[in-house]
Amino acid sequence: MNEPARRLSVVVLVLFLALMGAASYIQVIGAEDLNQDPRNVRTLYREYGNFRGPIVVDGEAVVWSEPVDDPFNYQRSYTQGSLYAAATGFYSIVYGRSGLEQTENALLNGSADALFWTRLGNLFAGEQQQGASVETTLSGELQAVAAEQLGDQRGAVVALDPATGEVLAMVTSPTYDPELLASHDTATVNANYAELLAQEDGPLINRAIAGDTYPPGSTFKLLVAAAALEGGYTPDTELYGPQQLDLPGTSRTISNFGDAECAGDEYLPLADALRISCNTAFADLGMSLGWGVLERKARDFGWDEPLEMPLPVTASGLPESPNESETAMSALGQFDVRATPLQMAMVASAIANDGVLMKPYLVDTVRASDLTVVSQTEPEEYRQSMSPEDASDLTQMMVGAVADGTGRAARIDGVEVAGKTGTAQTGQDTPPHAWFVSFAPADDPVIAIAVIVEEGGETGSGATGGSVAAPIARSIMEKAIQLDAEGDL
Residue numbers annotated as active site = 218
Closest CA to 343 of 459, 256, 435: 435
Task: Specify whether the backbone of 350 is left (phi greater than 0), alpha (psi in -120 to 50) or beta.
Answer: alpha
Q: How far apart are CA 303 and CA 294, in angstroms?
A: 11
Q: How far apart are CA 16 and CA 22, in angstroms?
A: 10
* CA separation for the pair 460, 301 (Å, rounded): 31
Q: Is 185 helix (H, G, I), strand (E, B) or coil?
A: coil
Can you say whether the dihedral through the CA atoms of 464, 468, 469, 473 is positive or negative?
A: positive
Q: How far apart are CA 83 and CA 105, in angstroms?
A: 21
> Would you say 472 and 150 are in contact if contact means Cβ atoms under 8 Å apart?
yes
Question: Residue 479 is which amino acid?
Answer: K
How far apart are alpha carbons 354 and 266 in whole angstroms? 32
Give yes or no for a contact between 369 and 130, defined as CB atoms under 8 angstroms apart: yes
3-state secondary structure of 104: coil
* DSSP one-letter code for 431: P
CA dihedral 221, 391, 354, 336 (to 10 degrees): 20
List, as one string, the DSSP characters of 349-389: HHHHTTTEEEPPBSEEEEE-TT--EEEEPPP-EEEE-S-HH
Report d(CA 201, CA 211) in Å as an integer. Answer: 12
Q: Do the bridges between strand 55-57 and strand 133-136 make them parallel or antiparallel, or are there none, so unpaired?
A: parallel
